[in-house]
Amino acid sequence: MANRNFLGPAGTVLGVVEFWLLTLAGFTLFFGGWMLVAWSGLMPANLLPSPLAVWETLVRLWNQPFAGHVYAEHLTASIGRFLMGWAIAVAIGIPLGLLMGWYRILDEIITPLFDSIRFVAPLAWVPLAALWFGTGIGGPLLIIFVGSFAPCLISAYRGARLVEPRLVEAAQTMGASGRRIIQHVLVPGAMPSIISGLRVSAGLGWQSLVGSELIVVGAGLGYLMVQGQGNLATNIVIAGMVGIGVVGFAIDVALRGVEAWFKRRWGQT
């Protein structure tokens, strides 16, 4: 997102200081506006608490259990659930996508099916997941899986299809078997696409989390928010949203780092 043009001709690049100043300006505007509205009394405090009130709530949730757990426990419960669902999506989606990119027949069989299912939004799976799994761990996992599976599959498939045919041919002329070509040409060749797919799928999976936690009894950020809503505690709802935003952002930053590392290593900038 950095290095965009800023009120100048194409090619004008922002300095680091300017970039951070502008980022800061955005946050200042947002929180400033929020505080103004909250303090002006345009909206009642129980519907729109000020940022400070939310911060105080966060600190309180951190120290005192709400809905059975302190904030960190809700957080780790959500992260654990997300990691499991996402891992399943990655473990199935990436290999399947690669194989579809390599074996034409698999592509023909799966693509139409996949295209017709993937537009059913993760949230639309919630009732089904609840019927199938009740309140067990399976329901949330299914929803996170549905949320993150498509980008895993698509990115691996595209990556495999975009590998330079020359490289596959070169490997063939050196006597590489199909298995060797997949391992040494297709997988590394598709890696940049796979990694950006991982990033997208992690984001979508994390976004599906709250939906999945609507049917969870126990712990989790979504559960915390539903309980907050039940208690008409807007500040707790917003505190949950803050946690979702921060963790989602952290996941994205981490995967962006991995992406940059791969590009540097292979000189594909």
Partner 1 sequence: MSEIVFRGVTKTFRLPKGGDFLAIDTTDLRIEEREFVAIVGPSGCGKTTLMRMAAGLEFPSTGSVEVGGRAVRGPGPERAVVFQQFALMPWKSVRENIGFGLMCKGTPRAEAEAAIAHYVELMGLAGHEDSFPHQLSGGMQQRVAIARAYVMNPAALLMDEPFGALDAQTRIVMQEELVRLARRNPRTVLFITHSVEEAVYLADRVVVMGRKPGRIIETIDIRPLRESEAWESQPIEEVMDRPSFTQMRSRIWKLLKAREAQNA
Instruction: Report CA-CA distances (Å) from 190 to 89, 130, 151, 152.
Output: 17, 36, 14, 12
Residue located via tokens 């045919």: 165
10 Å CB burial of residue 261 (0-12, 13-18, 19+) is exposed
- Binding status of residue 184 toward partner 1 by CB under 8 A: yes
Find the part of the chain contacting partner 1 (CB under 8 A) among 37-45, 53-61, 179-187, 242-250. 179-187
Q: Which residue lies nearer to partner 1 by CB, 23 or 177?
A: 177
Q: Give the residue among 154, 196, 162, 191 at the shortest CA–CA distance from 267.
A: 191
x/- mask, partner 1, residues 248-267, rule CB under 8 A, reads -----------------xxx
Question: What is the 8-class DSSP label of residue 161?
Answer: H
For helices 71-102 and 187-213, what crossing angle results, to 10°?
140
Q: Which residue lies nearer to partner 1 by CB, 193 or 235?
A: 193
| Cβ neighbours around 244 below 10 Å, total | 18
- Binding status of residue 162 toward partner 1 by CB under 8 A: no
3-state secondary structure of 164: coil
Candidates 72, 164, 178, 253: give the one binding partner 1 (CB under 8 A): 164
Site for partner 1 in 89-128 (CB under 8 A): none
Shortest distance in whole angstroms from residue 100 CB to partner 1: 22
Q: Which residue lies nearer to partner 1 by CB, 104 or 265?
A: 265
Here the tokens at position 239 are 């505190």
Candidates 51, 95, 188, 218: give the one binding partner 1 (CB under 8 A): 188
DSSP 194-234: HHHHHHHHHHHHHHHHHHHHTT--S-SHHHHHHHHHHTT-H
Candidates 171, 241, 242, 247: give the one binding partner 1 (CB under 8 A): 171
Query: Do the Cβ atoms of 185 and 156 come closer than 8 Å?
Result: no
- Binding status of residue 63 toward partner 1 by CB under 8 A: no
Q: Which residue lies nearer to partner 1 by CB, 116 or 173?
A: 173
- Binding status of residue 169 toward partner 1 by CB under 8 A: yes
Q: Which residue lies nearer to partner 1 by CB, 182 or 214?
A: 182
Judged by the rule CB under 8 A, the positions of this chain that interact with partner 1 are 164, 166-167, 169-177, 180, 184-185, 188-189, 191, 265-268
